[in-house]
Amino acid sequence: MMDEKDVTIKRIHNTDDAQKAYCCMTDVPTPWPQALCQCRDWVTNNLGKHIEGYHLQKPNGEVIGHLYFALSDHALFPYRVEPGVAVLYCEWIQKRHQGLGYGTLLFDSFISDRIKEDNLGVLVEATDIEGQMHFRHYEVRGFEVIHEQGHRKLLYYPINQTKVNAQPIVKKISPKTDHPIEVLILNGYMCPYEVSTMIKLRSIVPEFGEQVILRDVWLTPDTLQEFGAAKGVFINGHQKLVGGETECEIRLAIQEEL
């Protein structure tokens, strides 16, 4: 069972906190150290605006859990959301510490602060894929599914307002069949799993010469409206790569379009 004396919850405030982000990558030595560094730098540069969060820490300062979010006014999120809503990006408890009640402790602290700060409620985009922010994990906490598309589900947790105005942004990345092949990288909210593929892509695309061009976009509120997507890799408009792919898998995805 959990002993709350063994952990503390820290609101992340500064560069030192940001450089401890993504404990999901430190459970074991990460296979993507460059991606982890890039993601931590993104948190450092966007902290307090496009991302806020909490770390669950041991007395020695080791981070074993995280919860990251942003307020709807500044969230990089593929929905149009009314002001005053918290958008939950990601939460994680390291596997060796799961099942001890730490996830509940972290989430309850987050909700307690949302109540104090008079937020309307909380939105989260979950999936129906096990191990990837599964939607049932949120339904048992009191979230309700309000929109579904493909494997993704948008859920809402009411605090001061029972319903929320949240409409999906229409994706404006259309499939294309002409040449050269276009590889589009949308650098949105950073996830080391996804960034590992983006880093490999930047070195692999030049191998194809003039047959393939790379478009590398850092996401902002303006480009979010332009593309209608908050993150991802698109090859000729098709989102074939989701993260963690090998170099061979990346080359094959490009070759299929050629």
Please report, for the chain, the start and end positions of each structural domain, with discontinuous segments joined by +: 4-168, 181-257
CATH assignment of 4-168, given 3.20.20.70, 3.40.50.12780, 3.40.630.30, 3.30.460.10? 3.40.630.30
Q: Residues with Cβ < 8 Å from 146, sequence gap 6 or more? A: 154, 155, 156, 164, 166
pLDDT per residue over 14-30, tens digit each? 999 999 999 999 888 88
pLDDT per residue over 135-158, tens digit each? 999 999 999 999 998 888 999 999
pLDDT for 205 beyond 80: yes
CA distance 222 to 111: 29
| pLDDT band at residue 42 using 50, 70 and 90 as cut-offs | very high
CA distance 42 to 36: 10
Asked whether 54 and 76 are in contact (CB, 8 A), the reply is no
Q: Residues with Cβ < 8 Å from 227, sequence gap 6 or more? A: 171, 172, 173, 184, 186, 217
pLDDT for 189 beyond 80: no
pLDDT > 90: percent of the chain:
69
Asked whether 67 and 54 are in contact (CB, 8 A), the reply is yes
pLDDT for 203 beyond 80: yes
Going across the sheet that includes 52-57, the strands are 8-11, 52-57, 63-71, 85-93, 121-127, 152-158, 144-149
- Cα 240 versus chain centre, distance: 18
End-to-end CA distance of the chain: 55
Alpha-carbon distance values, 162 to 136, 139, 144, 227 (Å): 20, 15, 10, 30
Helix (H) or strand (E) holding 115: helix 102-116
Return the structure tokens found at 140: 């048992």
| Triad 44, 98, 129: Cα angle to 5° | 80
CATH assignment of 181-257, given 1.25.40.10, 3.40.30.10, 3.30.300.30, 2.40.170.20? 3.40.30.10
CA distance 108 to 113: 9
Mean pLDDT score, 192-212: 93
pLDDT per residue over 56-96, tens digit each? 999 999 999 999 999 999 999 999 999 999 999 999 999 99
| Triad 112, 16, 124: Cα angle to 5° | 40
Q: Which residues pair with 233 in a beta bridge?
A: 185, 241
- 3-class DSSP state of 143: coil
pLDDT for 4 beyond 60: no
